[in-house]
């Protein structure tokens, strides 16, 4: 069973940021749960890479690549990442990468986030 087959609409909105009513912590927690298909409470680099390819992350994450994102998630090279570490690191990366991509000194405006999310979803259509 593939990750995309299980709860794909929910996960696509999580990774794209399309669900405006869900707090970032909840989005990342849901995403972690979708990646951790075995329910162990941690994910491996191969699980993360598969999800990165399958879930079509936003352009700012794609520009970094799965390896760079994984290295940020697992800076000590243990080979696995806990849910708590995943959620906190991904929230920070979301803010940092979107800020860097916009050239702004503050997080991206909601309209820009919505446009980015819509573009990601349109690619899937």
First-to-last alpha carbon distance for the chain, in angstroms, is 22
Kindly report the CATH number assigned to the domain that includes residue 32.
Answer: 1.10.238.10
pTM over 0.85: no
Residue 18 domain flag: yes
Residue 3 domain flag: no
Residue 97 domain flag: yes
Domain around 73: 8-124
CA angle 9, 99, 90 (to 5 degrees): 50
pLDDT tens column, 78-114: 999 999 999 999 989 888 877 776 654 444 444 445 5
Residue 22 domain flag: yes
Residue 1 domain flag: no
Residue 84 C-beta-side C-alpha neighbours within 13 Å: 0
pLDDT tens column, 35-87: 998 999 999 999 999 999 998 888 888 888 999 999 999 999 999 999 999 99
Residue 82 domain flag: yes
pLDDT at 61: 84
Q: Into how many domains does the chain fold?
A: 1
């Amino acid at each position: 069973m593939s990750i995309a087959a299980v709860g794909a609409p929910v996960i696509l909105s999580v990774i794209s940021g399309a669900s405006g009513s869900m707090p970032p912590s909840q989005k990342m927690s849901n995403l972690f749960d979708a990646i951790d298909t075995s329910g162990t409470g941690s994910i491996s680099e191969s699980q993360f890479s598969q999800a990165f390819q399958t879930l079509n992350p936003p352009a700012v994450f794609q520009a970094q690549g799965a390896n760079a994102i994984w290295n940020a998630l697992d800076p000590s090279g243990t080979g696995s990442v806990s849910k708590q570490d995943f959620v906190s690191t991904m929230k920070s990366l979301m803010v940092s990468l979107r800020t860097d991509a916009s050239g702004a000194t503050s997080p991206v405006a909601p309209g820009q986030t919505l446009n980015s999310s819509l573009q990601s979803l349109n690619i899937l259509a």
